[in-house]
Structure 1
C-alpha cells in the first residue's frame, strides 16, 4: 500500500511534479494518478491511506466523489497570518450551502468538523467563529444582513446547547476572530467562503494545505485549487501524512 495518491493532468503538471519530486526526496510514498476515478476508488477501498485532488478539474472529481459518499462540504486548511497556527475555513465550495437549507447545512458542517477533530491532534482547544453579513450594530440595514445575523445567532445557540465547545458570533469581523485565535471559521455561504480563501491564499499568499472533505462517511481526501503553487500540493500530502500518523 502506498501512502498518498495525487491526481494530475500530465499536460499541465509542472507544479504537481515539483511537489512530487520533493516528497519522494524526503522518503514520502506518493503515487501520481491520471484518472481521478481510479484515485477516489482506491481511497474508498482503502488501497491508499489518503488522496489529493491535484490539477484535474473539479468538474471531473467532485461529481464522482459526491456519487460515492453523498453530500459533503470542504474546509480549507490555512495558516493564521497573526499566529502562524492552522485554522479551518468552511465552507469553500460555491454550492455547499443551499439557500433554503442554510441553517441545517451550517449545523451539519460544524458537526462533521467536530467529528473529524475528535480523531486528530490538529487543535488542542477548538474555537469556532461564525461569520455573518455585518457587524452586530448593522442589524436593520437590510433584510439579507438581518437574516445572516439571525441565522448566525441561531447556529451559535444550537451548537452551544448541544456540544461542550467554544463558539461565538462576532458578525463580519474575520480579522478579530483570527487575532483571537479562533481555529474554525464558518463563512456565511460557500461563495463568500471561496472568496475569503482566494483572497487569503491566492492573493495574499497565506500558506495552506488544501481543503478537507467532510462528510458522513469518513474519508481522508483533500481538495486543492488548480490555481495553487507546488507547495500547496506538498503541504496537502504532509498534512494527510500527519493525520495518518496521528491514528497510529
Structure 2
C-alpha cells in the first residue's frame, strides 16, 4: 500500500505521542486524530519515542504525558543543544507567537552564557518562523519597566541584559525587527510580536503555565529550536487533549509544506 502512495506522489505520514501515567487526555487526542485519518502511534518508552523519530521511522513526535526529566535529557544526548519555544495563539490578533525559554535548564545561568544563548535562541526562532512563511517580530522581556531601573539590582540585571542583546542585533543585522519594552508583555503582544524572549526559563515556564494552563490560550506544544529541523514537540503532562492534538496537526502542516 505504501508503494502505491509513493507511485502516485502521495506520502502517508506517521506520528507518535508519548503516553505516561496520565493517559486520558492523550487517548482523547489519539482518537480524535484517528477519526481524521491521521496515523498516530502511542509510545510509553521515552527512548523508543526519540529513537523512532531520529531513525525516521516516524515523521514527527510529541512528548505527550511522558516525564520531561526522562525525555529531554535523552533527546539532548542524541541531538545536542536545543531550546524550547512554546507556540501559543495571541489573544489580540489570533496569530501564533513563540514564547522562550520555557525550560528551566534551556539556557545557562551565568550572565555571559545567558546572553549568548538568547542570541542563538532568537536566530533559531527567526529561521523557524521564516520556514513557515511568518515574518519575525521579536520582543525582549526584562523584570520591570525601563523606568524602574535603579530600584532593584535583580531587575537592573535583566534590563541591562536585554539592552546588550538589542545592541547586538542593531549592530549585526539591522533587518531584525526587535524591541525591548521591559516587562510589558501585554503591549508587545498587542503590537503583534511573535517571538517573546522571557528573562529566564523559570519565568518563561511560569508565563506558559499562566497563558496555556490557567487562562486557556490555545497552544501547540513547544517546538525544538536548534540547527536541525527536528519535528519534536514538547508538551506538558498537565495539558488537555487539544494541545496534543494541535501539536500533531502543526507538525502535519510542516510536513505538507515540505512535500
Superposition deviation, residue 2 in structure 1: 4.1
Number of residues paired by the alignment? 245
Within the alignment, does 1:20 sit opposite 2:22 as a pair? no
> Is there any run of 5+ residues in structure 1 with no aligned partner, and where?
none
Within the alignment, does 1:3 sit opposite 2:14 as a pair? yes
CA RMSD of aligned residues (A): 1.3
The answer to whether the Cα contact below 8 Å between 1:77 and 1:88 also exists between their aligned partners in 2 is yes
Superposition deviation, residue 147 in structure 1: 1.3
Within the alignment, does 1:231 sit opposite 2:231 as a pair? no
- Equivalent position of 1:104 in the other structure: 116
Superposed, 1:74-223 pairs within 5 Å as 74-100=84-110, 101-121=113-133, 123=134, 125-163=135-173, 164-223=175-234
TM-score by length of 1: 0.95
The answer to whether the Cα contact below 8 Å between 2:22 and 2:237 also exists between their aligned partners in 1 is no
SS in 1 for 2:181: strand
Q: 1:138-178 deviations in whole A, cap 9, x for unaligned?
A: 11112211111111011112123333221000000000011
Superposition deviation, residue 25 in structure 1: 0.5
TM-score by length of 2: 0.91
Q: Which has the larger radius of gyration?
A: 2
Within the alignment, does 1:44 sit opposite 2:54 as a pair? yes
Q: Distance in 1 between matches of 2:37 and 2:169?
A: 42
> Is there any run of 5+ residues in structure 2 with no aligned partner, and where?
1-11
The answer to whether the Cα contact below 8 Å between 1:160 and 1:166 also exists between their aligned partners in 2 is no
- Equivalent position of 1:33 in the other structure: 43
